[in-house]
Amino acid sequence: MRVPRKRSSFWRDDRGVAESTLVIIPLMVLFLITAELIVAVNYRNLDLSYAQSEATTGAITGQVLDTDEVVSFDAGWFSLDRLKVLITHHQRSLPRILPAMPFLANEKDRVVDVVGIAVMEKLP
C-alpha cells in the first residue's frame, strides 16, 4: 500500500523549525533557572536542619567545635548565672546547573550559608 503524497511531504517539511527554536531555547533557560532555584531552596533547608541539629546536640552535651560561637548574655536579676547561646554555621557551595552568562561579568559562586542557634544547658 502506498502512502498518499500529502502525508509523506508532511514529515519532510521544514516549516515551523525556526519558530520552534525561538520558543524552546527560552523555555529551556527558564526550566534550568527554575531547577536551580529548587535545588538552592532544598539545599538551604537541608543545611538549616543540619546546623540546627549540630547546635542542639552541642548545647546539650557541651561539646563545642572550633567553628562554633558561644555568646553569653546577662540573664537579668532573676538568675544568678549568665545565659549562654551556642551558634553554629554551616556553609555549602551550590551546584551550577545553568552555565555562566557572558554578560554577567561579576557572577560569583553561589553559596548557602545557614545558622543554627541553641541555648546551652548547664552540665552537672
Instruction: Quickly list DSSP for 68-116.
Output: -EEEEEE--TT-SSEEEEEEEEEEEEPP--SPPPTT-TT----EEEEEE
**27-68 pLDDT, tens per residue?**
988 898 888 889 889 999 999 999 999 999 998 888 888 888
Residue 101: what pLDDT? 63
pTM of full prediction above 0.85: no
Closest by CA position to 69, among listed 48, 52, 55: 55
Residue 3 pLDDT greater than 60, yes or no? no
Residue 29: what pLDDT? 85
Q: How many CB atoms lie within 10 A of CB 58?
A: 20
